[in-house]
Every structure is written in C-alpha cells, then in structure tokens.
Amino acid sequence: MKKIYLIPLIFLLGCTQHSLSEKPNIIVIMADDLGYGDVGAYGAKPENVETPNIDKLANEGLKFTSGYCSASTCTPTRYSFLTGTYAFRKEGTGIAPPNSPAIIQPETPTIASLLKQAGYKTAVIGKWHLGLGGPEGPDWNGELNPGPREIGFDYNFLLPTTNDRVPQVYVENHHVRNLDPNDPLWVGRKKPSEDHPTGITHRNTLRMDWNDGHNNTIHNGIGRIGFYTGGHAARFRDEDLADEWQKQAEKWIEENKDDPFFLFFSSHDIHVPRMPHERFQGQSGMSYRGDAIVQLDWNVGALMETLDRLNLTENTLVIFVSDNGPVLDDGYDDFANEALNDHVPAGPFSGGKYTVREGGTRTPFITYWKGKIQPGISDEMVSTIDLAASMAALTGADLPNDGFLDSFNVLNALLGKDEAKGREYIVSQDNGRRGNYGLRNGNWKLQRHDSERMYNGDLSMKVWPVPQYTLFNLDDDIGETNDVSAENPEVFTQLKDQLQSIIDEGRTRK
C-alpha cells in the first residue's frame, strides 16, 4: 500500500520541465458522461459496443487506470480543466443554467491563455456549458461577450449550454450563428405565453418521452430544460451535432496547421438527449446510449484521419478523457437501462455521474503521441485538472502564481517516462450544490457528505443515507462497499484533516 502524503500544500509533483526543441500540437478530446467501462480498451464487450478508434489510441498510446476528472458533473469539471483550480473554490460552478453569465471571467488565466502566450493558436469546438456574457447573462441577439475568446481562445464554435437545456443553436465566436434579426431569440426560465407548447401540454408529439424534468420547450420532438422562442434559422438537429463538430474541427486544423495549435474538442456524446445521427442508430448492441458511443468513436477516428492526411500525427499530442462518469436514465426514456445487457458502464467501480464514488470521476484517460509515447498501461494517478501545469511544462510556458491553484505538473507520467510519478492524492466533488467530496490518497479513499440529506447513489439513480464520513481501502475494496474507518482510526483522522486543509488553504500548488 502506498504511503499517505499528509502535506499536500508543499508537495510539488513532477517539477522537472520537459525539454523539447519542438512545440507539439495539442488536442484534448473530452467525452461527456462516458464511463470507465464504456469503451473496448477498458472492458466493453464488442457485442454491446465497439470503439475501434478510441481503442487504437489506448493500444498505441498510454492507457491510464487511475485517470480522473475533478468532478462528477460537467460544468465543474470543465471549469477545473480550463483553470487548473478546483471548482469548489468558486461560487456558481454548479451545473450552469441556460442563461448563465460567463463563469470564467476574462482576468482568469486558463490553459488556453497559457498556450496562446506560448505561441499557440487556440480553439474550443463543441459543448461549452460555462456561461456566456456579462452579469445579466447572454445577449443572444447581440454580442456574447465575455466568452471563450476573452480567456485565451482564438476561435470558438459552441453548443452554448448542454443539449438537454435550451437553446439549440451554435455560437461562433461572439454571436449566434445564422441568427435572423427578424426572428430574435428569447431564452427564459418561465413559460413565455400560455399557449407555448411544452413537453407537458404537447407530450403526445414527443418522439423521445421524458420521465424527470426535460418537459419545457420542445425542439426536434424532444423536451428541454428551459424556455425559448425565435431563432428558427439558427436551430440545429440533434442528429447533426457530431458531424458539425467534425466539420468545424477539420476546417480549423487545416487553417492553422502551419502553427502549433491547441484544440479543445468538447464532444456532447454521450450526454442526454441521446439522438445520434441516423447512420449510427442501431449500430451498437444497446440503445441510443450505445449508438452515441459509436458516434463518439467515429469523431475520434475522423480527427485522427485529419491529422494523418495533413501529416500532423507525429507532432500532435492527443489526450482523450471524459468529463465525469456514466449515467443511464438521466431524464429521458431512451431505453438505456432496458438495453444495457451485460454492459458495465463504470467498469469495476461503484457509483457514477453525480456521486463522489470512484465511478463518478475515474474515467477513460488516454495519451497518444506517435513516436513519442510508447504503448503501455499506467496506474499512475493523473487528472484533467493537471493538464494546464503539465502543458506549461511541455511548452515552456510560465505558470502565474495567482492561477492554476491546484494543477500539478505530471507531464512525465502523461508521456510514460521511466520513474515518472503522478499524483499521490486527488479531490473529487459532485456538482457543487450538495458539498460532497471524495479524497483518494494512495489507495485510501475518504468520502465526505456535507448536505442535509447525506446520501450515496448508483447507476439506478437510487439513493440511500450514509454517514458523513466513510473510509475505504481501494486495494481490496475497489467498489467502496466496506467502511474501514473504525479499524483505521489514525488514517481516518489524517484524511479528514487533509481534506479540510485542502479546502481551507485555497490552493494545493506551491
């Protein structure tokens, strides 16, 4: 069993700067709600779902068995990835509503601004869900500023929120794409008129029924969270999202192939509503959830084909991650449970999205760099929150003291270098509203539940009461089923103190 490191505030990981004469392109592919066991390289069976392109990255790159995101929901993970700071340190980083103002303010250093200063062209294409606009929220018919361009991205092509929330439009740079000024877009929290069709009043028109929320405005035969009117020329079909991400990513890469570039490719798959393109429907042995995994895998393959065609593969570091663990029924009747077969979305772990169990934040995590990263499997602990400090080390960028407060340089681990070390500990959180935390230190795992209704959960979405604190030994209890706090009082106390110190001190990077 690994030793517990009890002084996280002075422990600097992997501080040796990587010396390269070149600055490689960097692509971070972030899946949405993809579990540890949802791809073939991590145990998915081919009769359920096949992922040859993701598997190729894993088999020819470095597959991490202890790769983490920092939160079990999307907005806080994206915040932490971009800023290198735990989302629980900032108010308002829970799941962002449709009209959320920009959560990351222009003065905040991000991985994009860091790499831009190092000479990189930068872009984000795909799901954003970090808010747009000033304190009053987005001006959907005007300039959506601040946004990604104010925090280091040269270009953005976005799904502004998440697709179960309104509106179903693309945002390119500062404006809604293809918006007709004679048909203005309105987005709100309340029904705009008594006769406005909703998933409740017009439920019989839905082609995918809802079972929990998702019953406000109807678009494309699917109910959404929130209300909107207008903007009809700007609206998209759910089925076309993945193709649009690929089209825009390929175009941007071609335009910037002569300079080092950083692309954050933020897929919406496999988040609800799962409505993959018609050519992927029925391609898995499961429901639309499995088909959406097949579509995601196609996106990965298409990106790699673009790199190959442009002779960029050998000078591009590709990092594949997920924003949180899996969820099955997440508000729509899409047969995710009924068609699961013997598929195990979270692999050997318990819990999933919304929980601080291992299944909530331990996900597929792959690094691939042809000719630079040797194929292998690593059990070193790494996290998406560390990509900022690690990419700074890779490119020679300087980390400001007032930013990236929890991002550690684990570059050598990401590259699979001999004797490389990852993290000794990692904090995970839920969506921020409940205040629940997990702390893994070595192979000990502490859970802390702070809400009035302390609970745990699993993929069935059932919940049950739990003690405020529990301790698990992941060496022999990977499913976090046996609380060993009573048998290990010293470890229990040390981890409780360590977690509180991490929260109170405001930073872990020194």
Give the whole-number percent of the chain exceeding pLDDT 70.
95
Angle at 361 between CA 241 and CA 30, to 5 degrees: 30
pLDDT in tens, 288-305: 999 999 999 999 999 999
Which strands make up the sheet holding 444-448, listed edge to edge?
425-429, 437-441, 444-448, 469-473
Q: What is the mean pLDDT of residues 189-214?
A: 97
Q: What's 38's domain CATH number?
A: 3.40.720.10
The pLDDT of residue 341 is 96
Q: What is the mean pLDDT of residues 255-268?
A: 98
Residues spanned by the domain of 314: 23-169+240-417
Angle at 385 between CA 380 and CA 388, to 5 degrees: 105
Residue 81: inside a domain: yes
Residue 203: inside a domain: no
pLDDT in tens, 329-372: 999 999 999 999 999 999 999 999 999 999 999 999 999 999 99
pLDDT in tens, 376-385: 999 999 999 9
| pLDDT classification of 5: cutoffs 50, 70, 90 | very low
The pLDDT of residue 453 is 62
The pLDDT of residue 19 is 43
CA distance 467 to 485: 11
pLDDT in tens, 30-53: 999 999 999 999 999 999 999 999
Residue 461: inside a domain: no
Residue 386: inside a domain: yes
Residue 16 has pLDDT above 50, yes or no: no
Q: What is the mean pLDDT of residues 237-247?
A: 98
Residue 475: inside a domain: no
| Domain count for the chain | 1
Number of helical H runs and strand E runs in the chain: 9, 20
Q: pTM score, two decimals?
A: 0.95
Residue 245: inside a domain: yes
Residue 61: inside a domain: yes
pLDDT in tens, 385-423: 999 999 999 999 999 999 999 999 999 999 999 888 999
Q: What are phi and psi of 310, to 5 degrees?
A: -95, 10
Name the nearest CA neighbour of 302 among 29, 92, 76, 85.
29
The answer to whether the CB of 82 falls within 8 A of the CB of 113 is no
Q: What are phi and psi of 266, to 5 degrees?
A: -105, 90
Residues whose CB is less than 8 angstroms from the CB of residue 462 and which lie 6 or more positions away in sequence, other chains included: none
The answer to whether the CB of 185 falls within 8 A of the CB of 230 is yes
Residue 454 has pLDDT above 80, yes or no: no
The pLDDT of residue 433 is 62
pLDDT in tens, 438-453: 999 999 999 999 866 6
Q: Which range among 198-212, 426-440, 475-489 shows the weakest confidence by mean pLDDT?
A: 426-440
| pLDDT classification of 1: cutoffs 50, 70, 90 | very low
The pLDDT of residue 434 is 67
Residue 8 has pLDDT above 60, yes or no: no
Residue 3 has pLDDT above 90, yes or no: no
Residue 248: inside a domain: yes
